[in-house]
Amino acid sequence: MSAAIHVHAEENRQREQIAEFGRSLFDRGLSAGSSGNLSVRVGDGWLLTPTNASLGRLDPAAISRLDWDGRLLSGAPPSKEAFLHRAMYQRRAGANAIVHLHATHSAAVSCMCGLDHDDCIPPLTPYFVMKIGRLPLVPYHRPGDPALAGAIGALAAKHSAVLLANHGPVVSGASLEAAVYAAEELEETAKLFLLLRDVPTRALDAAQIDELKSTFGLDI
């Protein structure tokens, strides 16, 4: 197979996978209406779900292909939240995919008073620590405010995921599958956090987190 055909086949595979994960997230109520967007690095650019598209009914061929200046190369016009993905990719060389959702429990936590802005959700389970680590809060910005890109970029070098205040999470991963699984782990842990708000709770302690870091080589 020539290099060009190989790149094309890989892009098509990624398009199919975006549509497949999109449908799965939509079907389980993790992306209501046309909310949420998925992206993947491919070739010398990246793929992003289109604007006003339901993740439940994506046409793989219509998924937007962009360059690193944000220009549309092919497909439908991209999500208006493209800049938020780009801000994270620019600071995380190892991020090959990004999932952004307005999922209920994560979004609910993003609206709470009194959050620790450096770490919004306590380390309730080892799975949350392994897949998300520390989750910082990005201060509120109106939809489309370009200053949001700078605020995400400032945190993205050190964090694979951030929570946008009064909005929802942005989660990166080495692959789309990894980013989706991490976003799901975040949503489930946000749910636990809300369930346990009035219940005396023991989160993992520092020694238990250190054990996870050394056993699994976590960089958090």
Label the pairing between strands 137-138 and 161-164.
parallel
Q: Select from 98, 101, 100, 87 the least CA-distant residue to 174.
A: 98
Q: Which two tokens stand for residue 145?
A: 């405010």
- The DSSP-derived string for 124-139 is -SHHHHHHT-S-PEEP
Tell me which DSSP letter residue 140 carries. P
Question: How many Å apart are CA 213 and CA 195, to the nearest integer?
Answer: 27
Tell me which DSSP letter residue 146 carries. T
Please identify which of the residues 89, 127, 140, 181 carries the catalytic annotation. 127
127 is known as an active-site residue: yes
Q: Residue 140: how many CB atoms within 10 A of its CB?
A: 14
Residues 110/83/147/120 CA torsion (nearest 10 deg): 20
| Burial group, residue 183, by CB count within 10 angstroms (0-12, 13-18, 19+) | buried
Q: How many residues does the chain have?
A: 220
Q: Which sequence positions are flagged as catalytic?
A: 127
